[in-house]
Amino acid sequence: MSEARIDPVADLLAAAWRDGGTIAPLSPEAAPRDLDEAAAMQAAAADRVGHPVVGWKVAGQPGPMVGRVFAHRLFTNGATLPGRLFQIPHVECELGFRLLRDLPAQSHEYGEDEVAAAANLVFTMEIVDSRFAGGKIIPDDESERPLIVADNAANAALVIGPEIAEWGALSLLDVAVDLRIDGGARKPESPKAARTEPLAVLTWLANELSRRGIGLGAGQYVTPGSATIPCPLPHGSRAIAHYGEHAVMDITISEA
């Protein structure tokens, strides 16, 4: 894997992160050729962005769609997010986690019980977007996946809400989410059959990052896949989501 291929794309992505701009579509020659190259481009762009990594996103099931959450793109419930940061933002409602202690890289795999004991449940909204002009946030086929992975797996921001410390008895896939944009009709939930148990995703991520020599750190957030279909959140719009009886999330994206 050559720096001559990684560095130019990483430079473009980092510049788009810094100024909220977009990138022209990559030529076939410049685009990542596989998922390993895509992950290298993402990591190199993250180094150039220069902001601390305060969390990770996984796109709904164990697999390659892993991205970083940067400190300057972490918001709290009730926030108004600057519209200038986003091209065509979509919102996803997720049941995620906050790490209570480090899960460092190690030679043996983490088990679910160990991971569960190291995390609080946290209700989140992820903003997904593309740094590429006209880019996709969900691949139509496997050939499109590497480009999205290089582009931080389409993560653009994370909004964190209430936490639950004693969550082990909850069936997380059964928590109903009522998402509405500007008071409109309820948005569709993701089919339960298409989702993976959030704890299983968190455990997979801990082991996948460990395999790469990366640990999860205390205080970091993990958002493991959406309970709702990705929903456009136009500039100037407000999203309110009820997570059963457990939490209410409320965010706005400004006009500019």
What's the domain count of the chain?
1
Q: Give me the pLDDT at residue 160, please.
A: 98
Question: Per-residue pLDDT for 82 more than 80?
Answer: yes
Confidence of residue 71 (pLDDT cuts 50, 70, 90): very high
Mean local confidence (pLDDT), 53-80:
92
Whether 237 maps to a domain, the answer reads yes
What is the radius of gyration, based on Cα positions, of the chain? 17
| Arithmetic mean of pLDDT, 33-53 | 94
**Does 227 reside within a domain?**
yes
Residue 11 lies inside a defined structural domain of this protein: no
Taking only the tens place, the pLDDT of each residue in 142-170 is: 889 999 999 999 999 999 999 999 999 99
* 80 inside domain: yes
pLDDT at position 249 is: 98
- Would you say residue 189 lies in a domain? yes
Whether residue 82 lies inside any domain: the answer is yes
Across the chain, what does the average pLDDT equal? 95
The sign one gets for the Cα dihedral 40, 17, 127, 139 is negative
String of DSSP letters for 11-76: HHHHHHHHH---BPPPPTTTS-SSHHHHHHHHHHHHHHH-SPEEEEEE-SSSSS-EEEEEGGGEEE
* Any domain includes 192: yes
Domain-embedded: residue 26: no
For residue 148, the domain's CATH number is 3.90.850.10
Range of the domain at 84: 53-253
- Which tokens in the block code for residue 199? 């704890």
Residue 1 has pLDDT above 70, yes or no: no
Rounded to two decimals, the pTM is 0.95
What would the mean pLDDT of 97-112 be, rounded to a whole number? 97
